[in-house]
Amino acid sequence: MTISNSDIYKIAAHHRFQWEKAQDCYVILFPEGMVKLNGSAGEVLKLVDGKNSVKAIVDLLKNQFPDVKDIEKDILAMIDFALGKAWIEQVN
């Protein structure tokens, strides 16, 4: 799947993304399943809100984590992975 800068994604229907205090992490919940996300995956999916474009997400995270090398590649890989798992869907 190719992801372009102008793509906008949101959390897929029937899925819920939420912060879990008890476990100190973000989770995705869906019928018959749940996934605990690690810190960086959570930071990406938090911004996948049906409004931010991929470019906006990359820019926001670049600002937030200026010292992380190759951050764009990691973000795109995460979006691609979440798309493959059908956790997120394209809006535009």
Partner 1 sequence: MAQQNNGVDSTVTNKRPLWLLAEITYRCPLHCAFCYNPTDYANHTKNELDTQSWIKVLNQARDLGALQLGISGGEPLLRDDIEIIVEEAHQLGYYSNLITSGVGLTDKRIDAFKKGGLDHIQLSMHDITEEISNFVTDTKTFKLKQKVAAMIKDRGYPMVLNVVIHRYNIDHIQEILEMAEKLGADYVELANTQYYGWSLLNRNQLMPTKEQVDKAEEVTNRFRDRVGNKMKVFFVVPDYFANRPKKCMNGWGEVFMIVTADGDILPCHSARVLPNMKFPNVKDSELGFAWYESPAFNKYRGDSWMKEPCRTCPEKENDLGGCRCQAFLISGDAEGADPVCDKSPGRPLIEKAIVDAQKGELQAQPIVFRTDKNSNRVIEGEEKERLEDFHALP
Site residues (vs partner 1, CB under 8 A): 13-14, 16, 18, 20, 22-23, 25, 27, 29-41, 43, 61, 65, 68, 70-71, 74-75, 77-78, 81-82, 86
Cα(58)–Cα(20) distance, rounded to whole angstroms?
24
Residue type at 13 in one-letter notation: A
Decide whether 2 or 23 has the Cβ nearer to partner 1. 23
Whole-number Cα distances in Å, 90 to 10, 23, 53? 6, 29, 10
Decide whether 2 or 32 has the Cβ nearer to partner 1. 32
* 46: number of Cβ within 10 Å: 16
Say which residue the tokens 């100190």 belong to: 24
Find the shortest distance in angstroms from Cβ 37 to partner 1: 6
Find the shortest distance in angstroms from Cβ 15 to partner 1: 9
Is residue 75 helix, strand or coil?
Answer: helix
Find the shortest distance in angstroms from Cβ 70 to partner 1: 8
